[in-house]
Amino acid sequence: MRLLADENIPAALVAVLRGKGHDVEDSPRGANDRDIVSLAVAQERVLLTQDKDFANVLQYPPSVTKGVILLRVHPPVLEEMVRALAGVLALPAKGFSGKLFVVDRAGVRVRE
């Protein structure tokens, strides 16, 4: 999976995802949300974030993206984040386009 990790995604999680074969790029530090979305679109990457602002589908419509994964695992324990992401990252990459995936300990919710 080609991912763009928002700056709020822990480096340890990025390392685990890379170790599992995912192509993960880091977003520029201090970039605003619009620039992050634009970068994800330009690079054709699914945005991985913990920022609830991206759940606002009016402000950030998933339809213009390759997909957004909003990770909502609290407390943000590495093993729990990896476990929560496992199911959604096993899906075919083409199934992400235009969708918002909200991932928490209970499962995955999808908004189009």
pLDDT, mean of each 10-residue run, the chain (112 residues):
97 98 96 97 97 95 96 95 94 92 94 89
Instruction: Say what the pTM is.
Output: 0.95
Residue 25 near residue 72, CB atoms below 8 Å:
no
Gap between the Cα atoms of 104 and 58, Å rounded:
22
What is the reported pLDDT for 94?
87
Q: Which amino acid is it at 39?
A: L
Q: What pLDDT, in 10s, does the model give residues 31-63?
A: 999 999 999 999 999 999 999 999 999 999 999
Gap between the Cα atoms of 55 and 1, Å rounded:
21
Gap between the Cα atoms of 30 and 109, Å rounded:
28
Gap between the Cα atoms of 109 and 102, Å rounded:
5
